[in-house]
């Protein structure tokens, strides 16, 4: 199990980034959150089995079809026991 926090910059708000991310996380059965930040970035946290978390981080590097991802910062954190995924932090 691991937890990571990602900060995604580029054209990532208003392009269904949060909705698609939440759907993929729910389908994968991992915990965490995704939310828009005031500076135009999207922040997400993923907690679950290593390969599943890695897959979601890889998706963040592409985003949904309408997104244009410029950068993804990834910070490994200690797991906190998050079992559900939510939009909005």
In a domain, 29, yes or no: yes
Could you tell me the residue range of the domain that residue 14 belongs to? Answer: 2-42+50-84
Active-site choice (5, 11, 35, 36): 36
Q: Which tens digit of pLDDT belongs to each residue from 28-77? A: 999 999 999 999 999 999 999 999 999 999 999 999 999 999 999 999 99
55 assigned to active site: no
pTM: 0.95
89 — pLDDT class (breaks 50, 70, 90): low
18 assigned to active site: yes
Q: Give 56-74 as a 3 state SS string.
A: HHHHHCCCCCCCEEEEEEE
Q: How does DSSP classify residue 49?
A: -
Q: Which token pair is 52?
A: 């599943």
Q: What's the structural domain count of the chain? A: 1
CB 45 within 8 A of CB 82: yes
Active-site choice (18, 35, 61, 86): 18
- Provide the CATH number for the domain around residue 64: 3.30.70.100
User: What pLDDT score was predicted for residue 15?
Assistant: 96
């Amino acid at each position: 199990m691991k937890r990571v926090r990602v900060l995604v910059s580029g054209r990532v708000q208003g392009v269904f980034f949060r909705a698609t991310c939440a759907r993929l996380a729910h389908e994968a059965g991992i915990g965490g959150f995704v939310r828009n930040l005031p500076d135009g970035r999207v922040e997400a946290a993923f907690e679950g089995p290593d390969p599943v978390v890695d897959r979601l981080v890889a998706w963040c590097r592409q985003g949904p079809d309408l997104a244009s991802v410029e950068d993804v910062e990834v910070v490994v954190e200690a797991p906190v026991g998050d079992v559900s995924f939510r939009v909005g932090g």
